[in-house]
Chain A
Amino acid sequence: MLNVAVSGRDVFDAFKGTLNFVFRRNARLSAGFTIIFCLLLIAVLAPVIAPYDASTVGLHLLDRPPSFEHLLGTDTLGRDVFDQLIHGLRQSLIIGIFTGLAGLLVGTTVGIISGYKGGWVDDLLKSVTDVFLVIPTIPLLVVLSAFVRYMTVPYMVVILAIFAWPFPARTFRSLVLSYRKREYINMAKLSGLSDMKIVFKEVLPNMLPYVSTTLANTISAAIMAAVFLELLGLGPQNTITLGTMVYWAMERAALIRGLLWWVFPPMIVIVLIFIGLQLINIGLDEVFNPRLRRGVTA
């Protein structure tokens, strides 16, 4: 039986319709989106919310507990913790989102080419992906970051992106493999559409739901890895991120001196990012995979 040709536009409309439906129905997805949206809003509005210089040392009294003047107190270097938190959030999200997008872009491209082309191209790309998937990335990340003498946010994105693409690549390869045999792809081929057109008009729109979950995953993994490096003291040196905040707090023994307002806020915000992304992920899974819904919500 031949399927009625579905254009990308139709799929997109259906996707939008589902989203509308879902937001009213799936509590986890809405909660996740709300958390991430608020954090993004704060990050975008950072210069408005915290217009003061967050990274300059010695502007304020040292080690002040939270007050009306300094909502989250000040640190041992005389910086306002709230200002740092807002700007740190911005930088951490920038690292996460750009790494996530880079990983997704490279991963999807590799995965689609690999799955769609097959043959030796697939063999080659699949072996490279497999090597990256099994190599322990954390020690390599540490060594690579030590190689960059003066770490900045863009460098960090590049280093993290090296390890961010293999998972999307594997996911999309197997997805494309399952689509390749479908009737409508055959129809498109028979009607003489070019490979590029088939990929962009027929294959890609079908994978939109997976694109969104994969993006949430890669962003989460990227922020996790970034925080890890930052806690080792290998983070960006010219800007404040959430991870470097925790690093400096630990470096100055903030915990043992009871400067809790310095250590815990960045940790809480980091965990909030992870929880938000995770909720989005579970929610999307439930929406696009109704079999799961019965299982998870009960």
Chain B
Amino acid sequence: MSPLSSTYMRYIGRKLIPYIITVFVAITANFFIPRLIPGDPITVMLSRMSLSGASTADGAEIVEAYKKQFGLDGSWLTQYKNYILNLFQGDLGPSIMAFPMTVHEILMTAIPWTIGLLVVATVISWVLGNLLGVLIGWRRESKTNSVILYLSLCLNQVPYYFIALILVFFLAYTLPIFPTTGAYSVIGTQYEGLRLVVDIVYHATLPALSIIISFIGYWIITMRSLIITTLGEDYILLAEAKGLKRSVILSKYAFRNALLPQTAALGMQLGFVLNGSILLEIIFNYPGIGALLFLAIGNVDYNLMQGILLLTVLSVLSANLILEMVYPLIDPRISHGGD
């Protein structure tokens, strides 16, 4: 199917509508759900100010002024209207807990850390897992390979945060090799250039390892069963009958066909990267989006929560949408009628 053909356009059009609806529902939910949390941000902020010794004289007046400042005056309906209008102009509003920074600025400081850590770790585990999966799917009879299979089946059931805790125990406490907190050394010397890169990689090792170890099992299992299913197909039989070498059959026929669904799954997984990082970033005190969301909840920062939720929704939805758009172009078997 060519990307410009009218059937393809109609296919995209039909796929796009549910996405638009979902985005709108999600945006609305993002507005209302944070407002369900008990306590309002201004009170939290003022009480914190008075705790730190600032004099907060005219209570009511200050509260009003702040509410105006952060767009929290008026009814929920007017606030909602303003929120939608600002959103369409790309304005996420000011952060309440870190005023005068805007939500946009704060997000920009956190996104690179999360994406850098999780995308790299996810891709590494994908590559390793698929290679191992092919290997054990190909030589099914071998004893070592079934050991690998059972190990991955078990590993697949251990949540990443448990692996993180175990790694911290062994590689940071018992053998103090790796640091447990932060994304770079703060105390003492400020590194620059190559040393900074090394420092960042060093700090990212444990969190990245926990992601790699916990997801590798999934990729091994799925790749293995894909290879096995493909090897059972008739065209493989034909290829064997033609006298092709087993290695050629594996790399040119089985592996290629299995790679497509695996790439799609990787795409989905990457869309969920912002979603699943909360506990990891909290365990390792990593300055990413997940830890930021937790901070925002603790400080009842509506605007920041909305921004982060929007970001996670959009990344998941765009990963989905991109896959749906690309898939029929690569795989002609995907029918574009019905569902």
CA distance A227 to B160 in the complex (A): 12
A and B contact pairs by CB, cutoff 8 A, 18 listed: A131-B25, A135-B22, A135-B25, A135-B316, A136-B309, A139-B275, A143-B37, A146-B297, A227-B159, A255-B168, A255-B169, A256-B173, A260-B169, A270-B162, A271-B154, A275-B153, A278-B153, A298-B140
> Do A142 and B317 touch (CB < 8 A)?
no
CB distance from A245 to the nearest CB of B (A): 13
In the complex, per-residue mask of B146-164: 1 if CB is within 8 Å of any chain A CB, else 0: 1000000110111101100
- Seen from chain B, the residues whose Cβ lies within 8 Å of a Cβ on chain A are 18, 21-22, 25-26, 29, 33-34, 36-38, 140-141, 146, 153-154, 156-159, 161-162, 165, 168-169, 173, 225, 228-229, 232, 272, 274-276, 278-279, 282, 293-294, 297, 305, 308-309, 312-313, 316-317, 320
> Do A143 and B33 touch (CB < 8 A)?
yes
Residues in chain A near residue B293, CB distance under 8 A: 139, 142
CB distance from B275 to the nearest CB of A (A): 4
Residues 240-298 (chain A) with a chain B CB within 8 angstroms: 246, 250, 255-256, 260, 263, 267, 270-271, 274-275, 278, 282, 294-296, 298
> Do A224 and B165 touch (CB < 8 A)?
no
Task: Look across to chain B and name the residue whose beta carbon is closest to the beta carbon of A294.
Answer: B232
CA distance A136 to B37 in the complex (A): 19
- Seen from chain A, the residues whose Cβ lies within 8 Å of a Cβ on chain B are 127, 130-131, 134-140, 142-144, 146-147, 149, 224, 227-228, 231-232, 246, 250, 255-256, 260, 263, 267, 270-271, 274-275, 278, 282, 294-296, 298
> Do B165 and A147 touch (CB < 8 A)?
no
CB distance from A218 to the nearest CB of B (A): 16
Which of B29, B140, B157 has the largest number of chain A CB atoms within 10 A? B157
Contact A136 to B141, CB < 8 A, known contacts A275-B154, A278-B153, A278-B156: no
Q: Name the contact of A131 in the complex, choosing from B21, B159, B279 (C-beta under 8 A).
A: B21
Q: Name the contact of A138 in the complex, choosing from B162, B276, B305 (C-beta under 8 A).
A: B276
CA distance A134 to B165 in the complex (A): 29
Contact A130 to B18, CB < 8 A, known contacts A135-B29, A139-B293, A224-B159: yes
Residues in chain B near residue A137, CB distance under 8 A: 275
Q: Name the contact of A139 in the complex, choosing from B18, B21, B161, B312 (C-beta under 8 A).
A: B312
> Do B21 and A147 touch (CB < 8 A)?
no
Q: Name the contact of B316 in the complex, choosing from A134, A142, A260 (C-beta under 8 A).
A: A134
Task: Look across to chain A and name the residue whose beta carbon is closest to the beta carbon of B146.
Answer: A298
CB distance from A289 to the nearest CB of B (A): 12
Residues in chain B near residue A274, CB distance under 8 A: 157-159
> Do A134 and B162 touch (CB < 8 A)?
no
Q: Name the contact of B29 in the complex, choosing from A140, A224, A278, A282 (C-beta under 8 A).
A: A140
